[in-house]
Each structure stands twice: as C-alpha cells, then as structure tokens.
C-alpha cells in the first residue's frame, strides 16, 4: 500500500479529487481545504492507494501538472488493515509485491545518476581495498571492495534512462560511471606506486591464484554480469536490499578497474588489457541485463493487466 500526499492550489483540487475518487485502487481519500501554511492557503489531499493501481493513477495526475502547481509525495505504508483494502487488492490482477512504482524508482535512481562527493569517496575507498586485495592476492578483500563500490547505482540509472528515453539522465549517469571508474583506475595506479615506495615488507605472491580471474574475462563473466543486471534493477525498484548485495558481489567492475591500475603501475600490459576487457564486458552486461529486466517486466505486467481479476 502507498500513500499519496498532494499539496495543491484550490482551483486544481476538484480535478485531482475526480481522479482519486474514480480510481478503484484508491482505498481512502481525505482533503483538508486551506490547511497548508506554506504555500499559504493551499489544499492538502491524502489518499491510500494499492500498488497495483498507483502507476496508472500517477500517470494521470502528472498530466494535471501537479509538480508545477504544487507537490506530490509517495509514501510507503508498512501496514494497512481494512476490508476496503482487502477488496481492492483482491480485485487487482497480480500481486502488489511485484509492482515497480516508476516514480519511486525514478527518484531513487536520480540520486544515483548524478555526481556526488560521497559517490567518488566510496569509489576511491573501494579501489583502495581492491588494490590491496590484488597486490596480496586476497579474494576476501576483492569481495569487500565489490560490496563497498557504489557503481551499480549509476549503471541502473543509465539503464532506466535508456528505457524511459531520457537523454539527459543517460548522459549524466554515463558520465558518473566513466568518471568513477577512471578515478578507481587512477587511485589503484597511485597506490601501487606508493606501496612499492613504502616497502611494507609483505611478501607479494608470485602468481595471483585467488584474484587472477579479475584479468581473465570469459563467457561466464558476461553471463554472471548480465544475470546480476537482471536482478539488480528489480531489487532497487522493489527494495530488496539482500538481492542487491548479491548483485554487487557478482560483477567484476571495481576489481577490474583496480587491476588495470595495478597492472599499469607494474608494467604488466597483458594483464592490464585483460582488466580493460573484463571491465567493459561487465559494464555492458550489467547495463544490458538491467535494460532487459525492465523490458521483460513491462511485457509481463502488460499481460497480467489483461487477466481477469482474482485473489492476490
């Protein structure tokens, strides 16, 4: 269940109420006329709506230019008990838990798809962890770097931007991805030189038995990254944080970027080339997997919408 809260000028209230009252998925609609203090005198409308109905309803509300004249908020309701809610859910096709709310997904990914200091700090720290992991051949540190790395967020924003045909979002997200991975490569290169100068006394392994896969791309790299992309964008849209953790530890992006930097600093150009290929393969497959998930989801949900109503 979701709650829509709208603040709107009085001259648009009746238009909005008409849409809300006519919507079968709207469980309750409350209006407080003139209740807003800022902007002074505006009306406040609150409606509880099933997830199955919210996308179509929001699309109609957006046509009324709510954002231009007022404010529209979408709030998750953890629990709502009423016979009206049960009837509305039973009448809706599919299950509400499977619904991607586009406005919520757009808002989450908008934050991920724009450059921020926090993003670059996380990328640099993830690159540091991955660099140490490669230098001492520690697969544990490689996994740690994957978890810390925030690069999937802008990749998902890129996929959604392509799917929603938003060139501005695509350019912004692509810029964040490229600059973030470039920062990771530079960070790894500098750190490798620093480690050599410090002479820590740690004996580095002659062969990287546990982390060699980072610079050895193969068909399985592409398959796993594509599968991770399939799950990732849905996990972000449905709020499944556990699945999202699995996504980030399945894709070899930060480790590959760090491997490029380490290999370049050591003059191991063959391994650097392998790292570049691994990075490109993973970025492409993550993006394509995310895009494919959105396309399949939309196709499946369109079919479900055409089914007769039944219990959820």
Per-residue pLDDT tens digits for 28-73: 999 999 999 998 999 999 999 988 889 989 999 999 988 888 999 9
Same domain, 203 and 234: yes
Res 25: pLDDT:
87
Inside any domain, residue 278: yes
Same domain, 181 and 150: yes
Same domain, 81 and 124: no
Q: What is the pLDDT of residues 184-242, one digit of tens each?
A: 999 999 999 999 888 766 646 667 767 889 999 999 999 999 999 999 999 988 888 78
Same domain, 32 and 120: no
Res 312: pLDDT:
41
- What is the rounded average pLDDT of the residues 73-101? 78
Q: Residue 92: pLDDT band by 50, 70, 90 thresholds?
A: low
Q: What is the pLDDT of residues 104-125, one digit of tens each?
A: 888 888 889 999 999 999 999 9
What is the domain-level CATH number for residue 9?
3.30.70.120
Q: Which domain holds residue 278?
A: 106-301
In the predicted structure, residue 182 carries a pLDDT above the cut 70: yes
Inside any domain, residue 311: no
- What is the rounded average pLDDT of the residues 259-268? 94
Inside any domain, residue 58: yes
Same domain, 67 and 149: no
Inside any domain, residue 101: no
- For the chain, the domain total comes to 2
The domain boundary, picked from 30, 63, 92, lies at 92
Same domain, 275 and 145: yes
Inside any domain, residue 46: yes
Res 311: pLDDT:
45
Same domain, 195 and 53: no
Same domain, 277 and 176: yes
Same domain, 119 and 26: no
Same domain, 135 and 244: yes
Inside any domain, residue 312: no
pTM: 0.86
The percent of residues in the chain predicted with pLDDT above 90, rounded, is 63
The domain boundary, picked from 92, 127, 160, lies at 92
Residue identified by tokens 């407080």 is 32
Same domain, 187 and 291: yes
Question: Cα separation of 39 and 9, whole Å?
Answer: 9
Res 306: pLDDT:
57
Same domain, 157 and 273: yes
């Amino acid at each position: 269940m979701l709650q829509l809260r709208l603040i709107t000028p009085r001259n648009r209230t009746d238009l909005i109420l008409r849409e809300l009252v006519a919507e079968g998925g709207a469980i309750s609609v409350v209006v407080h006329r003139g209740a807003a203090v800022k902007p002074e005198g505006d009306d406040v409308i609150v409606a509880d709506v099933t997830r199955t109905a919210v996308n179509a309803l929001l699309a109609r509300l957006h046509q009324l230019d709510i954002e231009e004249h007022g404010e529209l908020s979408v709030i998750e309701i953890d629990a709502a008990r009423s016979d009206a809610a049960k009837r509305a859910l039973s009448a809706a096709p599919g299950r509400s838990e499977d619904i991607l709310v586009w406005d919520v997904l757009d808002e989450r990914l908008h934050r991920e798809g724009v450059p921020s200091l926090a993003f670059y700090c996380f990328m640099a720290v993830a690159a540091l962890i991955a660099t140490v992991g490669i230098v001492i051949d520690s697969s544990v540190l490689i996994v740690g770097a994957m978890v810390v790395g925030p690069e999937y967020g802008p990749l998902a924003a890129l996929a959604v931007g392509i799917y929603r045909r938003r060139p501005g979002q695509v350019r912004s997200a692509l810029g964040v991805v490229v600059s973030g991975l470039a920062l990771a490569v530079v960070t790894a290169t500098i750190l490798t030189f620093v480690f050599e100068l410090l002479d820590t006394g740690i004996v580095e392994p002659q062969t990287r038995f546990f982390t060699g896969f980072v610079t050895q791309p193969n068909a399985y790299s592409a398959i796993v990254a594509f599968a991770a992309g399939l799950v990732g964008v849905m996990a972000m849209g449905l709020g499944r944080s556990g699945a999202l953790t699995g996504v980030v530890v399945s894709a070899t992006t930060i480790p590959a970027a760090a491997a490029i930097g380490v290999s370049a600093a050591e003059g191991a150009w063959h391994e650097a080339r392998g790292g570049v290929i691994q990075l490109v393969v993973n970025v492409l497959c993550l993006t394509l997997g995310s895009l494919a998930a959105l396309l399949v989801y939309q196709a499946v949900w369109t079919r479900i919408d055409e089914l007769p109503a039944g219990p959820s």
